[in-house]
Amino acid sequence: MADLSKEQLLKMYKKMVLIRKFEDRIGEIYGKGAIPGEMHLSTGQEAVNVGVCIQLRPTDTVAATHRAHGALIAKGVNLNKMTAELFGREAGLCKGKGGHMHLFDPSIKFSCSGIVGASMPLAAGAALAAKRKGTDDVAVAFFGDGAANQGTFHESMNLAALWKLPEIFICEDNQFGISVRKEASTSVISNADRAASYGIPGVQVDGNDVIAVYEAVKAAIERARGGGGPTLIECKTYRIKGHFEGDPEVYKTKEEQEEWLKKDPIKRFTDMLLSRGDITQGELNDLDRDVKNEIEEAIKFAEESPWPKAEEALEDVFVNGGVD
């Protein structure tokens, strides 16, 4: 199973379960009106998030989308601070001012945005900085199949290819751009095919198979760190929930949802782990309990954290001091 040890596989399992259970609890709490703003959950896309981020360094940059909880957890966020930010509390990553679509953690070089397609040029900038500094750090841009029709997709890929930037483009093809199917908006069957236009590798993988994602990204990271330039990886997955919490999902059929639920990435990975013979259900159950406790501690931390003071609303708007 790739070059992964038992310990690494269990870490991947725990991260995937943590993302799923966290999203489930946040969706439940959001439904009670305890979290401000909108809410976009990444349920079902855990294999992409973990398969990518589990092999990144803290110094590698990740620029993500409005559906970013999974990627941020996989990158190694402090869950207490992330949860407090969702609740709009002062102890949050951005002092409660950014909320769920504007999560930023410089300690692990992570950012996200509510602007569709914004991740790609931001990651290109980070990749250019890494190249000019002479490091072998990489930058990863997560984006959806809908964002692949934005100008930023083509502009960023062209620039990254031209300058051989260490950028990895991760297209999470979850079948829908809000409520629009890809075949109704995109002229090519696979976005991975578009990589040929820029002379770089384009790879399509099963986004519900965490090992397949891991192996494709591993090759892309090695290429990027070695100066070979960018790679586009299209991960075929499924957004189990709606575009946002409260979405009636009338654009989905019952039959398609049932088919995709059979491909649940966590169920598939669990079966794979148990088939190895050196991982037991008891070990997985222990990790499940650890995850539940970690989530409840984070929610308690968030609920007990104070709200930002009204007079702080205009703080943190500008950087203090001049620009070097």
Q: 238, 251, 276, 289: which one is catalytic?
A: 251
Measure Cα distances from 137 to 55, 105, 214 in Å.
Answer: 12, 17, 18
Residue 180 is given by DSSP the state E
Catalytic site residue from 198, 243, 276, 289: 243
Q: How many CA atoms lie within 13 A of 117 on its CB side?
A: 14
Residue 186 is given by DSSP the state: -
pTM (whole model) above 0.85: yes
Q: What domains appear along the chain, each with residue ranges and CATH number? A: 6-240+250-299 (3.40.50.970)
Q: In a structure prediction context, what are the per-residue pLDDT tens digits for the chain, which is 324 residues long? A: 568 999 999 999 999 999 999 999 999 999 999 999 999 999 999 999 999 999 999 999 999 999 999 999 999 999 999 999 999 999 999 999 999 999 999 999 999 999 999 999 999 999 999 999 999 999 999 999 999 999 999 999 999 999 999 999 999 999 999 999 988 899 998 999 999 999 999 999 999 999 999 999 999 999 999 999 999 999 999 999 999 999 999 999 999 999 999 999 999 999 999 999 999 999 999 999 999 999 999 999 999 999 999 888 888 888 776 555
Q: Which of 98, 72, 68, 71 is nearest to 86 (CA)?
A: 98
243 labelled catalytic: yes
Instruction: Please count the helices (runs of H) and the strands (runs of E) in the chain.
Output: 10, 9
Could you give the C-alpha distances from 306 to 160, 231, 236, in angstroms and in order?
43, 43, 41
* Catalytic-labelled residue, pool 239, 268, 276, 289: 239
Distance CA 73, CA 50 (A): 9
Q: Is 251 among the catalytic positions?
A: yes
Give the separation between CA 323 and CA 231, rounded to whole angstroms: 33
